[in-house]
Amino acid sequence: MGNDNNVSAISFFDDPQAESIFARLDFQFKDGVHIQAHATQYDLFNFLVRNELSLGLFYAKYYGVKLSCAGIGANRYFFLDFMASDRGEIDGDHRNFLKPEYVIIGFLIYKIHFIDGNLDLNSVRKLQLAVRNDYEEIRPDIYRLLAKLRKSASTTLTDSKIDDIIVETLKEFTKIGWVAIEDDFFDVLPSFQRLAMLYSGYINNIDEWIKTAT
């Protein structure tokens, strides 16, 4: 983009790929999607890297939201930080708000992958079985908490219903670019770390928090 002093909120339109990329990028951003160097997002990611300053000015000026970037190197990811501003003018219909039960399942995925170090657990079915069988000390509390959030009696929240919540969660995380699913397999993407950014106080003490939350 040349000298940063000459960059404006519309400078990114000078990029040769702006016409073919920006509309898709803008649509995904407003739907809460996180953009990173993965699969179908490579062109969007590279466009963002080239035009980060101009796009940041654009979203701040015209929508009152912050274009944020987190992560390092190949793990960098971009997102519109609606929480950083109370004057965002993007229609609420285009924002993706996670249900509390999806956040809880997100905590468990984070614990399994990054706290317990089970990075190879990338099967949806194995994830369901891990939640069911490998966390006996907190499993009753997990079930009670999810039942509470679903307004169900804990005795009616069966293993099958927990399996369904896990699948629903992964589908929602796919929508916002936190995971990628193909058949029974899923990848935890760099932007999944956004969950830790938002809820670090809970994730770092997840076992104790789940017990007290119920």
Domain boundary among 60, 79, 94: 94
**Per-residue pLDDT tens for 24-72?**
999 999 999 999 999 889 999 999 999 999 999 999 999 999 999 999 9
Percent of the chain whose pLDDT exceeds 90: 66
Q: What is the DSSP string of the chain?
A: ---GGG--TTGGGGSTTHHHHHHHHHHHHHTT--EESSGGGHHHHHHHHHHHHHHHHHHHHHH--EEEEES-GGG-EEEEEGGG-S---S-GGG--PPPHHHHHHHHHHHIIIIIS--TT--BHHHHHHHHHHS-TTTHHHHHHHHHHHTT--GGG--HHHHHHHHHHHHHHHHHTTSEEEETTEEEE-GGGHHHHHHHHHHHTTHHHHHHHH-
Please state the domain count of the chain: 2
- Give the range of the structural domain holding residue 128, as residue numbers without chain letter: 100-213
Same domain, 87 and 114: no
88 pLDDT tier (thresholds 50, 70, 90):
low
Domain boundary among 47, 75, 94: 94
